[in-house]
Amino acid sequence: MRRLTRLMRVTKYEHAGLRIDQNSETVLIDPGSFTTPIDDLAGVVGIVITHEHPDHWTRDHLDRILRVVPDALIFAPSGMARAADGYGITVVAPGDTAEAGGFALRFFGGTHEIIHSSLPVIENVGVLVNDRFYYPGDSYAVPEGVEVDTLAAPLGAPWLRIGDAMDFVLAVKPRRAFGTHDMTLSVIGRNMHRDRLRWATEQGGGEFHDLEPGQSVDV
């Protein structure tokens, strides 16, 4: 079901942490080890964790959130569900859809980008929220057949080469984009990578936003 008439506010937190507010409901994405605790949790109806790496989730974050909203749904791939056994996670895979309150979620991708041949490849899902906002997790998974309004694009990571990140943004062609997954970068490196993704966003007629932690865009 499309929910294009409802305004969403997307707020960036440190690294990969994202908050999406719509009316009085909230979905959180990837509150991990580099993300400070997120306040005002009463409206949280869903939590999406794209994969099991600790920069995308911690038990401390989940426990803190669930103490306030114990009925919040948690969506994650099966590898994450095994890593966080006991949390009642709803396992999702590419092609799956789900709902949390008034939010419609669609999942894409399937695997984390390769860091090194010596390290195992794990599961990762990108998430499309209300057919408008897309975040790929640690991947370059393009949501085929979707006109993305706003994209959260990874800026820096052990697996990220900036040319590949630029090609990802060029392929998605979002109307707007901002950078995420950026705590491994220096200030100079972050700004340089933002400029590269700004160029890629503008090639499709889009606008790139330089969001700092706590800043938002309306979708």
> Is 135:148 a contact under the CB 8 Å cutoff?
no
∠ Cα 27 28 32 (to 5°): 170
Half-sphere exposure of 43 (CA within 13 A, CB side): 13
Q: Could you tell me what percentage of the chain is helix, strand and coil, using 3-state DSSP and rounding each to the nearest 5?
A: 20, 30, 50
Burial track 44-79 (b if 16+ CB lie within 10 A, e otherwise): bbbbbbbbbbebbbbeebbeebbeebeebbbbbbeb
pTM over the 0.75 mark:
yes
pLDDT value of position 1? 38
CA distance 135 to 18: 9
61: three-class secondary structure by DSSP: helix
Q: Are 91 and 66 in contact (CB under 8 A)?
A: no
CB 147 within 8 A of CB 133: no
pLDDT in tens, the chain (219 residues): 344 457 999 999 999 999 999 999 999 999 999 999 999 999 999 999 999 999 999 999 999 999 999 999 999 999 999 999 999 999 999 999 999 999 999 999 999 999 999 999 999 999 999 999 999 999 999 999 999 999 999 999 999 999 999 999 999 999 999 999 999 999 999 999 999 999 999 999 999 999 999 999 999
Among 17, 11, 12, smallest CA distance to 137 is for 17
Topology adopted by domain 9-113+121-218: Metallo-beta-lactamase; Chain A (3.60.15)
Give the H or E element holding residue 111. Answer: strand 103-111
Helix (H) or strand (E) holding 110: strand 103-111
Domain ranges of the chain: 9-113+121-218
CB atoms within 10 A of CB 146: 14
Q: How many CB atoms lie within 10 A of CB 147?
A: 11
